[in-house]
Amino acid sequence: MASYNKVLLMSNLTRDPELRYTANGQALAKFGIATNRKFKSGDGMKEEVTYVDCTAWARSAEVICEYMRKGSPIFIEGRLQFSSWEDKESGKKRSKLDVTVERFQFIGGRQDSEGGAPRGNQGQQNRGGQQNREMEPLSDDDIPF
């Protein structure tokens, strides 16, 4: 049976990205985003927020950490990744589903003082004048675990 694992999300970062490096020197960035959904419920409107943890690798991780801050808008293309482990303190099984970033694009205009978009003359200009950065996806051989 065929399977397809693709996620497209456009949202804002909920916290500053955290940059780390693996033992073999591979860059790894972890950050969170929040997506909102408004819907009608009875006589009024309700809003639902979904928080998503994301992981970027290699140069994508470094670029995201360099240019993005809490509140920065981003468009992400990636795949769902399931992880499970045993909690060292409680001994309980834990699991988590997050998005592994394969491509991303900065959204919005330049914001010098608050972050949110690339500073300087890096990336490509699109018709709207905003700067975009797109990275190639990593192969499974590039992921250290």
d(CA 142, CA 58): 9
How do 18-21 and 27-41 pair as beta strands?
A: antiparallel
- The whole-model pTM stands at 0.71
pLDDT in tens, 38-79: 999 989 999 999 999 999 999 999 999 999 999 999 999 999
pLDDT in tens, 84-141: 999 999 999 999 999 999 999 999 866 554 444 444 333 433 334 444 444 444 455 5
What pLDDT, on a 0 to 100 scale, did the predictor assign at position 116? Answer: 45
Which residues is 51 bridged to in the sheet? 34
What is the CATH topology of the domain spanning 7-135? OB fold (Dihydrolipoamide Acetyltransferase, E2P) (2.40.50)
Of 126, 113, 25, nearest in space to 75 by CA = 126
What pLDDT, on a 0 to 100 scale, did the predictor assign at position 110? Answer: 63
Domain boundaries, the chain: 7-135
Of 43, 144, 42, 49, nearest in space to 100 by CA = 144
Q: Is the pLDDT of residue 24 over 60?
A: yes
How do 44-57 and 93-106 pair as beta strands?
A: parallel
The tokens describing 9, both together, are: 């999300």
What pLDDT, on a 0 to 100 scale, did the predictor assign at position 108? Answer: 81
Phi and psi at residue 113, to the nearest 5°: -85, -25
